[in-house]
Amino acid sequence: MEAFDDDLSNFAAHGATPLPAAGDQGHVSHDGARIWYATYGSGPPVILLHGGLGHSGNWGYQLPMLVGSGRSVVLIDSRGHGRSTRDSRPFSYELMASDVLTVMNVLHIKTAPLVGWSDGACTALVLAMQSPARVGGVFFFGCNMDPSGVKEFQPTPVIDRCFSRHAMDYAQLSATPDQFSAFAEAVGLMMKTQPNYSARDLAEIKVPVVIVQSEHDEFIKAEHAEYLSRSIPGAELILIPGVSHFAPLQRPPQFNGVMQAFLDKVGALQER
């Protein structure tokens, strides 16, 4: 597959392709924050959870494909990210998982598969642990479930371009546009100290899970992805070649194909 935006120069300059007009959008008040959501399309629902420091617009290359395949898509800006607000408490994946569940309740979504990217993947798996009856499956891309899974940070031009785009988007979307530095520091603290789930915790997961790892992920160790796939009952491990932590932006058709296959598999299981 030919490279789409491997060095993220297009993303840095323009962001992902703009989201279309939403069928419904708004804010849900929950536990000291206002959580932004938007819905698109019709059919079986799927919820997309973006990565740390980003926002739902980062799914611009995935949304049209999912709507076109006959699904309704729910986008959620994580607490403090994008159009969502936060209070003064530290970030936690458990708190963000409870935000997702609240949005599901407001939208009357009984159950749905969750597609998570980076921090969104951890949030999705935490929700699957807490409320398995509400989660049809978890597409877990590019994240860890304990601190041992994280590589030592090495800055790169690709990471710098992504960070720069996140800063610009935050200034445009956030209710506190001048507080990106404090926001990034708070999210960074969460990433350094959380999550902290053991193999015993992972063994209790009861929903379909696919662990998706990019060949050149800048943040997550390949052996940690392998460990997750061994520790979660029935989990499948998929490696996406040639891309990094930013695969949904770098080579969307390649990423989308893996995501579509998982959602089709989960849908078939639910129809039985």
- The pLDDT value recorded for residue 92 is 98
Question: Hey, how many other C-beta atoms are within 10 angstroms of the C-beta on 2?
Answer: 7
Asked if 233 and 210 touch (Cβ cutoff 8 Å), the reply is: no
Confidence label for 2 from pLDDT (cuts 50, 70 and 90)? low
- Is residue 98 over pLDDT 60? yes
- The pLDDT value recorded for residue 1 is 40
Compute the Cα dihedral for 175, 119, 46, 246 and give only its sign: positive
Question: Would you say the pTM of this structure is higher than 0.95?
Answer: yes
Q: Name the architecture of domain 25-271.
A: 3-Layer(aba) Sandwich (3.40)
Q: Crossing angle of helices 180-193/119-130, nearest 10°?
A: 60
- The pLDDT value recorded for residue 77 is 98
3-state secondary structure of 139: strand
- Is residue 27 over pLDDT 80? yes
At residue 80's C-alpha, the angle toward residues 79 and 82, to 5°, is 100
Cβ-Cβ contacts under 8 Å for 37 (sequence gap 6 or more) = 25, 26, 27, 28, 74, 75, 76, 77, 103, 106, 107
According to DSSP, residue 116 is labeled E
- Looking at the DSSP assignment, which residues form a beta bridge with residue 117? 141
Return the CA Rg of the chain: 17
Question: How far apart, in whole angstroms, are the C-alpha atoms of residue 179 and residue 172?
Answer: 12
Average pLDDT of every residue of the chain: 97
Residue with tokens 């921090």, as numbered in its chain? 119
Q: For the chain, list the strands marked E by DSSP.
A: 24-30, 33-40, 45-49, 72-76, 112-117, 135-141, 209-214, 236-240
- CA 10 remoteness from chain centre: 21
One-letter identity of residue 13: A
Instruction: Read off the pLDDT of each residue in 92-114 and give the average, rounded to a whole number.
Output: 98
> What are the pLDDT digits (tens) for 179-214?
999 999 999 999 999 999 999 999 999 999 999 999
Instruction: Read off the pLDDT of each residue in 63-84 and give the average, rounded to a whole number.
Output: 98
- The pLDDT value recorded for residue 269 is 82
Domains of the chain, by residue range, sit at: 25-271
- The pLDDT value recorded for residue 255 is 98
> What are the pLDDT digits (tens) for 127-178?
999 999 999 999 999 999 999 999 999 999 999 999 999 999 999 999 999 9
- The pLDDT value recorded for residue 271 is 73
> Which pair of structure tokens corresponds to residue 118?
């980076």
Question: How far apart, in whole angstroms, are the C-alpha atoms of residue 180 and residue 240?
Answer: 31
Residue with tokens 């569940």, as numbered in its chain? 101
